Structure 1
């Protein structure tokens, strides 16, 4: 009988607590006590890459699993209670989501089915590509606009099963969309296995008694509901995966907009900080510029700022740089936010149609009322994006007039009005709320980028807005003609039925 022989050995700096072989290639993933995720090649055990812990992921890896196609690694993080999906090619974090408890074990299975209806569905499911344009690439090179493709991989459905303390078990379609939660299992989950036909789930748990003795239990659960609703589950899971990645795309777009906005604050404050510190008078920055605008007289400090520190060339460059930042925000709204929210409305509308088919999708928990609320929220988001475009357009006009006044001097009465508006809005010392700009206020734009559920501090002027007047007439005025038409049609319908 031949003996086993050693073919390789590798010393590692930190103890390994979890390891998993790739289902498709000669790769092995390792998680160590330092919170690092390592990928080694089995042939020579050379390191392919390493992923160090950071503030977003955490430092305590508690479980590890490969996606069945070997393209994505999933690992649970105990200290931040998250599940992280990592690209096996580049060590790039594609997606992460929170969980209620630390994940102690996980299993990723590809669903196998001979159902002809599922195969027909798989061939025609991506019809959204025929109707929706490709999303523009985000300005940041490290972010990918094709994240949906990276996460979904093959069309065939796959399920990530996670387990934790107190028998907490969750199932995620494509590793993203939660399709089931089990909470009635006793003990801490130590191992999981979901059958490829989705008919059975096996769980090994550990319980500890009062005298600290541990007992191991094997539990088998019937998951036939998932198997019987496989085509509906697949369609619903893919739709929600598209929705979650679109939300991530919009969030990254907003991040890029915030960076461009903060760049405006930084550029103006750097120029004004020294001016404020050196001037002898107690007047505010706004008063200094207004005095120059009205009387043509500048204080020695303001004159030194304009002539020596900024200069005509510097003013032109500063004006062009700030205008470029505003243009970047404007382009992100037009090309990214509007296209992303349009795609989001498309997928939500399809999900709403699925929810109305109660015989097929009600057992899976689709709620038409909640989906309608989501559609309304996306519509409100789109309206606010359009409103932001108007605010940016007005700010850019004021910016151009302000800098033209500084380095040209010749101004029309309309331009002077623009400059006066600019000074009153952007150089005001009113502390409306905490802002990063100390001497320069761009909250007219920045208030739209705040991650807070509050009313706008500086709402746009709606005086003379035709649409607002129309809405007020509908709500408060006499009954519109369209309501009369609806009531007449209802009476006709009742008469026909009788």
Structure 2
């Protein structure tokens, strides 16, 4: 190994409690004592920050998703957030019954194809995106990603960090990691025991869970799309009614004119207030312009329904019945999908679709009446002019009198309430149900019941409510009988056990420091272990007593073959890399051999650290050190004291390129200054 190279020594504006490197990029996530979370590039260029939460709320865990696209932040107020790597925006916020202690992940890049999903030709067509919905549809194939959340009393398994797929009761754990094939979970508890949980059934059902994760992504995308479409519907209607009401209010100057209009229709008598408005406030040109504008707006509203809202409902209906078919399959019984829940969701979607059809019918009916109203009003204005042809005007008026009369009667006492569509966009029952203003009642369709009294928003809210129940309890049958087994221990540990875990394709490494400042470190590799201690590790002593045991301040898995250590020897602090491949097989023992005298089994590992893989850290305060390492990026960050952070590049070689622009994602830094954090 080559000497370590210091890149920077920086004082931050806050006290860092947790930090972790991205597995894919040179991004370092820092959690401050205040609860604020900041992501930096490795040269301290701030990318984004998450503001500090309420007073007293702190960050309890930080973790990057294995693909590096999301950061998981857990808070002490019992919720955690999935944050986008580029923007820092929260994509999901999940409330829990307790605060998360830590996270661990597996990524199976070989398991990308999804089983039991119908061919694309059999699905309804893809949705037509519109300008206010920019998110692309989710890809059909994604590698399997599973997250394990450690709580005080349980372990929560989650697909892609957002879809819970099983809960295991396992109290008092410090840490836990699931191996790559999901057959074993290895953990360490507060009693000092090394614990194993056998999850063979979960392993055999990963294909089914991966399929459910695919459907969950599809359903969430469709719900977001449908929500955007309905929001666009409401905005379109707001534009229509705002323009129409504004113009008509200008005409009437706030007066109630329904009685005057009805008297004109029935008896042909024109009141003085109405005559004044029609002669001096209303012009034929203005009425024609308003009529064309309103008609165009209603046409746009109908287009949104047919090109966006209904297709989204159809795809949701299709996907639900695909999931229902899988739920009836014997292989998926343990997924714990409720047929009753799927039926209620299907019913809610059908009722929503019927209400969308009803809104379309009402809009069509409403625009016909508005056009008749404007024609009649226009003809009336023209008839009052001196040069009007009275006979022609009367012929034009006669055809619209009945329709306008019925339309004004339906306005319920306010001649300005000419729109009947807006009531569908309120979260309350309809003011004027469909049967009351002349639209033929929609027939009861065999696969659903049409509820005439509800609004579109009520049906949509009901659909969202039942959708929340879709994947509740997913996968619980696969881990129902899983219980922790103490396979070794207890080790004598203090209150502040330090741990680090790394899951590779073959092994789960669990690095344990029984107490801060311990002289011993225990490393578990699956169901084997080794005990390490560090004496003087080169010929020239660093301190007055070269044989003095080093205390281990902090340790973290750098890679599956290297452990990064912060060692303390008197007033000297050393950063060192220890290669695990130097531990020969006799020193890797079966966990059943771990006895009370485990310290006597320690290998003096200092002999394997030489001048090429260590560095003395100057000006360090005892007990202040925490570290974050990135094996893929060969970077290390150490909190040396207080707010001071030291950044180092590990394994430097002379011919190494300085090019740092090979990230998979383009991340823009906000700036670089001493005040950034």
Q: Which moved more, 1:381-390 or 1:258-267?
A: 258-267
Q: CA deviation at 1:336?
A: 1.4
The Cα offsets for residues 222-256 of structure 1, whole Å up to 9 and x where unpaired, read as 33322111111111221232123212221222122
Partner deviation per Cα, 1:68-123 (whole Å, 9 max, x = no partner): 111233334666x6544333234455x42542436434536244387xxx67x548
Structure 2: how far apart are the matches of 1:306 and 1:468? 48
Question: Partner of 2:7: helix, strand, or coil?
Answer: coil
Structure 1: which 5+ residue stretches go unaligned?
Answer: 207-214, 431-438, 472-498
Query: Aligned in 2, Cα 1:231/1:2: closer, same or farther, shift over 3 Å?
Result: closer
Return 5+ residue gaps in structure 2 as ranges.
381-392, 448-677
* 2:124 is the counterpart of 1:132: yes
Q: Distance in 1 between matches of 2:425 and 2:16?
A: 43
**Which residue of structure 1 aligns with residue 97 of structure 2?**
101
194, 199, 216: which one aligns with 2:178: 194
Q: Does 1:242 align with 2:218?
A: yes
Aligned to 1:433: none
Kindly indicate whether residue 58 of structure 2 is the aligned counterpart of residue 66 of structure 1.
no
Alignment of 1:161 with 2:161, yes or no, is no
Which one has the bigger strand percentage? 2
DSSP 3-state at the match of 2:421: helix
- For the 8 Å contact 1:160–1:172, the answer to whether it is kept is yes
**Alpha-carbon separation, structure 1, partners of 2:305 and 2:156:** 37
Q: 1:334: how far off?
A: 0.9
- Tell me, yes or no, if the aligned pair for 1:68 and 1:108 is still in contact at 8 Å: no
Matches within 5 A, 1:32-431: 32=32, 37-42=37-42, 44-50=43-49, 63-76=61-74, 83-93=80-90, 95-101=91-97, 103-105=99-101, 107=103, 109-112=105-108, 121-122=113-114, 125=117, 127-128=119-120, 131-140=123-132, 143-149=133-139, 155-164=142-151, 166-182=152-168, 184-186=169-171, 191-202=175-186, 220-271=196-247, 279=255, 284-291=256-263, 293-294=265-266, 295=268, 297=270, 300=273, 303-304=276-277, 307-308=280-281, 312-358=284-330, 360-409=331-380, 410=393, 411-426=396-411, 428-429=413-414
**Per-residue CA distance 1:112-151 (angstroms, 9 max, x = gap):** 387xxx67x54885733763322111341xx3352424xx
CA distance in 1, matches of 2:439, 2:377: 31
Cα distance, 1:275–1:466 mapped onto 2, change above 3 Å: closer
CA contact (8 A) 2:379 2:397 kept: no
Segment of structure 1 superposing worse, 154-163 or 1-10: 1-10
Q: Normalising by the residue count of structure 1, what TM-score does the alignment of the two structures yield?
A: 0.71
Q: d(CA) in 2 for partners of 1:391 and 1:96?
A: 37
Distance 2:403 2:58 in 1: 56
Give, in angstroms, the shift of residue 423 of structure 1.
2.6
Larger Rg: 2
Structure number with higher relative contact order (C-alpha < 8 Å, ≥ 6 residues apart): 2
Q: Secondary structure at the match of 2:148?
A: strand
- Quote the Cα distance in structure 1 between the aligned partners of 2:189 and 2:195: 8
CA RMSD across the alignment = 4.2
Contact in 2 for aligned 1:202/1:220 (Cα 8 Å): yes
Change in 2 beyond 3 A, CA 1:60/1:324: farther
TM-score, normalised with respect to structure 2: 0.54
CA distance in structure 2 between the aligned counterparts of 1:65 and 1:125, rounded to whole angstroms: 31
Equivalent position SS for 1:138? coil
Taking the aligned partners of 1:82 and 1:331, their CA distance within structure 2 comes to 41
- Residue 489 of structure 2 aligns with which residue? none
Cα distance between partner residues in 2 of 1:348 and 1:274: 50
Distance 1:340 1:73 in 2: 30
C-alpha separation in 2, matches of 1:302 and 1:82: 65
- Secondary structure of the 1:73 match is strand
What is the CA-CA distance between 1:268 and the residue it aligns to? 4.0
Preserved contact between residue 128 and residue 308 of structure 2 (Cα < 8 Å): yes
Q: Work out the CA distance in 2 between the residues paired with 1:30 and 1:170.
A: 24
Q: For 1:239-280, what per-residue CA distance to the aligned partner results, in whole angstroms no more than 9, with x for missing partners?
A: 23212321222122212212222333433444456777765x
Whole-angstrom distance in 2 between the partners of 1:242 and 1:340 = 11
The 1:239–1:265 alpha-carbon spacing in structure 2 relative to 1, beyond 3 Å, is same
Once the two structures are superposed, residues 45-86 of structure 1 have per-residue CA deviations (whole angstroms, 9 ceiling, x without a partner) of 21234456899xxx976544322111233334666x654433
Describe the SS at the equivalent of 1:221. Answer: strand
Deviation at 1:362, TM superposition (A): 0.7
CA distance in 1, matches of 2:446, 2:159: 46
